Amino acid sequence: MKKIIYSLFLFLFYSNVVQSQDATEIVRKADAKMRGKTLQAEMVIRTIRPTWTREMTVKSWAKGTQYSMILIKSPQKDEGIAFLKRKKEVWNWMPVLERTIKMPPSMMSQSWMGTDFNNDDLVRESSVLEDYTHSFLNDTTLGDRLCYRILMKPKPESAIVWDKVIVCIDKKDYLELNSMFYDEDGELVNIMNAYDIQMMDNRLIPTRMEMIPADKRNQKTELIYKQILYDRPIDDNFFAIENMKKLK
Amino acid sequence: MSFLLLIVCFNYSAQAQDEEKQKSWKIKGYIKEMPYFSYNKPYDQALYNNLVHNRLNFKWSPSEKISGAAEFRTRLFWGDVVTTTPDLPAQMRNQNERVNASITWFETDNAAMITNVERFWLEYKTSKWAFRAGRQRINWGIATTWNPNDLFNAYNFLDFDYEERPGSDALKAQYFINELSNIDIAVSPSFSKAATVGAMKYFFNTRSYDIQLNAGWYHNQFTVGGGWAGSIDEVGFKGEMQYFFSTTTKPQFNGVAEWDYMFSQGWYANASFLYNSTGLDEPVADWTTVNFQLSPRNLMPTAYNLLGSVRKEITPLISASLGVVYCPGTNISIVLPTFSYNVSDRWDLSFIWQSFYAELNGSFQPITYSGFLRAKWSF
């Protein structure tokens, strides 16, 4: 009897724990998993259209949501172009012009280098935690993974261009496997899918992302992680204007 | 032909270096082929030309602290421009280069081939200091089109085919105060004191604005200036001001203010205003008296200059732009449409048009039309 009561207690307590894990907490876990405290990555970004494909290789460094740096490695003519983001400000180093250009804030929500990703997707200016409120929708299954569906609504004071974002986060490993971005008219604008779940730097993560514009289903941009390093210390002063010129 | 072969060989060796992952030196560049024509007042005949344009950029980095660059620009002109321009090689030289480092391979009645050493510098750099000596570009501009703060190597925004822009023969020291703040000191000496440029610049960031202040000597005149780059809400807001004190001629003020915005669907717009206190502010009788000789003091020959430009990315590979310059007072107007197509990773095609109009003797009229078709192969 004692055992039964104990089990029942445990069950109730445990289920309480599960229920008290609110939507924000799940988004936080998924975000922390993908982003880490710091993140260094080498990736291939492939823009795919019905009649052509372009590919570039890119290296990135990020520390939280405040600091990030991106360096283009190929194609050769764009090699050395770099972007620095510190808080809300973004600079662009153009090696051909030997010039640093301060970018207007309006550039953040627009296409990055002709891809289906915008600047914000790459330098992650907005925070999925601070700039949105989160609530549960019904659960769903993606592939063989059971997922939470969570509605993210931008907070009124944030500068997010979306009206809402619906994300699907895997219940077991907290992997964000699908995101749907809606504009203020309620129209679906972008669909992001994540695939190829693998161990990289001792972390189980999706290593291939695709962004599909909802009104042009025959085109997309793929982002494939080739190498990734989590939580290696990066000093704040690495994210310096001068350092954009030295990145390798 | 042997020249082309040389480039191809260099290209292969650069790739081989890439594969070895031991890159103490690198080579990059391009070849451009550009037929163009111009049709000028009084419109008796069009002038046809062709330009083959090669750039070879060598970068040498033997260690973390030491690096160097040597960059060469070779241009082969043929057509009416050679026939109608007296001493073309001299005309093609950059004004701010003290040492003549150009070679004229040949010059005939209708063809000329010139190579110029565009960059030739050595740098020593630590985390706090950098020293660079030689032919280099000293980019002090912060705005997009017109840069009054660019004291060492002003560039002509109409010279679209000179993407790297000119350099100057100088010594430069930089001190990096922190991530967003530094001090530059540069001197471009000359055998004649009247052509020496020496100045310092302090750059910092505050309240989401980049700010720079400069002071120095430009051709025997004391000059001070400043610039900013920031935003008003979502709109980029940049500007530069430069004041030249002068004892022999009139003091001069140049100022630029500029706004830019990126719209959705690949639209970008930029509006800019340049004021030159010594520029022309009323119509001229003779177009040839308008001085387009570019210098930091003469970014435009006119006092008031308005530029509006829009660019549209039609697809990630195809874009079009339209720039319109209007100078109230002189009524000089320039219309600049462009169209570009990225054929492949290495190939780009562009079409550029330039039309000049002005009010001469009370009538607003076209002065010159030019059209350029350009194919570029990058390596």
Long-range contacts of B6-10 (CB under 8 A, 24+ apart): B7/B31, B7/B54, B7/B56, B7/B379, B10/B56
Q: How many CA atoms lie within 13 A of B111 on its CB side?
A: 6
Strand-pair partners of A55: A46
Reference A117, options A188, A30, A184, A191; nearest CA is A191
Please state, in angstroms and rounded to a whole number, the distance separating the CA atoms of residues A166 and A181. Answer: 7
The number of folded domains in chain A is: 1
The reply to whether A221 falls in a domain is yes
Classified as helix, coil or strand, A237 is helix
**Residues in CB range of A150: below 8 A, 6 or more apart:** A23, A26, A27, A134, A135, A136, A137, A166, A167, A168, A169
- Residue A10 included in any domain: no
* Residues B183 and B277 sit within 8 Å (Cβ to Cβ): no
Q: What is the pLDDT along chain B (379 residues), one digit of tens a residue?
A: 344 444 444 444 444 444 445 578 999 999 999 999 999 888 888 999 999 999 999 999 999 899 999 999 999 999 998 888 888 888 888 877 888 899 999 999 899 999 999 999 999 999 999 999 999 999 999 999 999 999 999 999 999 999 999 999 999 999 999 999 999 999 999 877 778 999 999 999 999 999 999 999 998 899 999 999 999 988 999 999 999 998 777 899 999 999 999 988 889 999 999 999 999 999 988 888 888 888 888 999 999 999 999 999 998 899 999 999 999 999 999 999 999 999 999 999 999 999 999 999 888 999 999 999 999 999 9
Query: Does the predicted model carry a pTM greater than 0.80?
Result: yes
Residues of B in contact with A160 (CB under 8 A): none
Q: Is residue A13 part of a domain?
A: no
Put simply, the answer to whether B163 touches A110 (Cβ < 8 Å) is: no
B179, B261, B313 ranked by CB distance to A104: nearest: B261
Tell me if A12 is assigned to some domain: no
Encoding tokens for residue B346?
A: 């290495």
Output the six-digit token pair for B267: 């639209």
Is some CB atom of chain A closer than 8 A to the CB atom of B63? no
Q: Is residue A174 part of a domain?
A: yes
Give a yes or no: residue A100 inside a domain.
yes
Tell which residue, B289, B294, B226, B218, has the closest CA to residue B257: B226
- Using the Cβ of A141 and the Cβ atoms of chain B, whether some distance falls under 8 Å is answered with no
Structural domains in chain B, sorted by start? 23-378 (2.40.160.100)
B165, B179, B264 ranked by CB distance to A237: nearest: B179
The per-residue pLDDT for A16 is: 42
Q: What's the angle, vertex CA B203, arms to CA B197 and CA B204, rounded to 5?
A: 170
Contacts of A101 in chain B (CB under 8 A): 144
Residue A54's domain spans which residues? 23-245
- CATH code: domain of residue A136: 2.50.20.10
